[in-house]
Structure 1
Amino acid sequence: MFPTGRRDGRVSIANEALFNLPPPFANITVLKQQFAGVGLSVKDLAVLSGGHTIGIGHCTTISDRLYNFTGKGDTDPAMDPRYAAQLKKKCKPGNSKTVVAMDPGSFKSFDEDYYTVVAKRRGLFQSDAALLDDAETRDYVTTQSRTHGLTFALDFAESMVKLGNIGVLTGEQGEIRKRCAFVN
Structure 2
Amino acid sequence: MNGPSWRVPLGRRDGRVSRSSEALANLPPPSANITQLKASFRSKGLSDRELAILSGGHTIGISHCSSISNRLYNFTGQGDTDPSLDPNYVVHLKRKCSPTDTTSIIEMDPGSARTFDTSYYTLVRKRRGLFEADAALLNDNATRNYVLRQGNSGGSNFFNDFAASMVKMGRIGVITGNRGEIRRICSAIN
TM-score, structure 1 normalization: 0.98
1:56-89 CA-to-partner distances (Å, cap 9, x unmatched) read 0111110000001111111000000000110001
- Aligned partners of 1:93 and 1:178: how far apart in 2? 47
Counterpart of 1:86?
92
* Secondary structure at the counterpart of residue 141 of structure 1: helix
1:127-142 to 2 correspondences below 5 Å: 127-142=133-148
1:71-150 to 2 correspondences below 5 Å: 71-150=77-156
Q: Please report how far the alpha carbon of residue 15 of structure 1 lies from its aligned counterpart in structure 2 after TM superposition.
A: 1.0
- Aligned partners of 1:19 and 1:72: how far apart in 2? 29
- Aligned partners of 1:4 and 1:153: how far apart in 2? 21
Alignment counterpart, residue 38 of structure 2, candidates 20, 32, 36? 32
* Secondary structure at the counterpart of residue 57 of structure 1: strand
- Aligned partners of 1:175 and 1:35: how far apart in 2? 26
- Aligned partners of 1:178 and 1:106: how far apart in 2? 35
1:26-80 CA-to-partner distances (Å, cap 9, x unmatched) read 0000000111111110011000001111110111110000001111111000000
Aligned-residue RMSD, C-alpha: 0.7
Identity %: 60
Alignment counterpart, residue 10 of structure 1, candidates 16, 27, 43? 16
- Aligned partners of 1:4 and 1:49: how far apart in 2? 25
Counterpart of 1:155?
161
Counterpart of 1:169?
175
- Aligned partners of 1:83 and 1:183: how far apart in 2? 45
Q: Please report how far the alpha carbon of residue 113 of structure 1 lies from its aligned counterpart in structure 2 after TM superposition.
A: 1.0
Give, as a single letter, the amino acid of the residue that structure 1 aligns with 2:116: F
* Secondary structure at the counterpart of residue 144 of structure 2: helix
TM-score, structure 2 normalization: 0.95
1:87-123 CA-to-partner distances (Å, cap 9, x unmatched) read 0011001011101000001101111111111111000
- Aligned partners of 2:116 and 2:180: how far apart in 1? 31
- Aligned partners of 1:112 and 1:17: how far apart in 2? 26
- Aligned partners of 1:3 and 1:148: how far apart in 2? 29
Give, as a single letter, the amino acid of the residue that structure 1 aligns with 2:108: M
Q: Please report how far the alpha carbon of residue 171 of structure 1 lies from its aligned counterpart in structure 2 after TM superposition.
A: 1.2
